[in-house]
């Protein structure tokens, strides 16, 4: 995995912060480097993060990184465990079509019907 670089033209320094805009609130938000590069966000190095200014009338919101976080939090680990449990849960058994429907047409699963290939 290669390090992301500053989005500013001709700057080759490593990015340490991510800049996003909330146009409706006229706010520029500068926070810790995002996990993934987003198309509508700008990754900035230390120098360009410090020099950041916003248009007149706009507010700059600087979010400080959480220095106490050393790796995943307990919330992150619980969310991961829940996702693993959900993925490991067996799929529900298909309910055979009953009533006036032709059972040879397929199997009903909830509000959807799976048609058998002929």
Q: What would the pLDDT profile of 50-87 be if each residue is shown by its tens digit?
A: 999 999 999 999 998 666 666 667 777 788 888 888 88
8 A C-beta contact, residue 2 and residue 13: no
Q: Rounded to a whole number, what is the distance in angstroms from the first to the last CA of the chain?
A: 48
pTM: 0.55
Q: Per mean pLDDT, which of 45-49, 80-84, 104-108, 111-115 is the most reliable?
A: 45-49
Report the SS3 class of residue 111: coil
What is the DSSP code string of 18-78?
EEEEEGGGTEEEEEEPPSS--TT-EEE-HHHHHT----TT-EEEEPPP-TT--S--HHHHH
Q: What would the pLDDT profile of 27-47 be if each residue is shown by its tens digit?
A: 999 999 988 888 899 999 999
């Amino acid at each position: 995995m290669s390090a992301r670089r500053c989005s500013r033209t001709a700057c080759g320094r490593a990015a340490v912060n991510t800049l996003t805009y909330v146009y409706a609130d006229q706010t520029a938000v500068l926070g810790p480097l995002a996990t993934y590069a987003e198309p509508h966000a700008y990754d900035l190095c230390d120098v360009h993060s410090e020099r950041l200014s916003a248009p007149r009338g706009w507010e700059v919101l600087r979010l400080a990184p959480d220095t106490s976080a050393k790796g995943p939090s307990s919330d992150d680990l619980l969310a991961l465990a829940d996702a693993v449990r959900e993925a490991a849960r067996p799929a529900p058994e298909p309910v055979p079509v009953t009533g006036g429907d032709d059972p040879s047409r397929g199997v009903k699963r909830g509000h959807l019907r799976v048609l058998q290939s002929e």
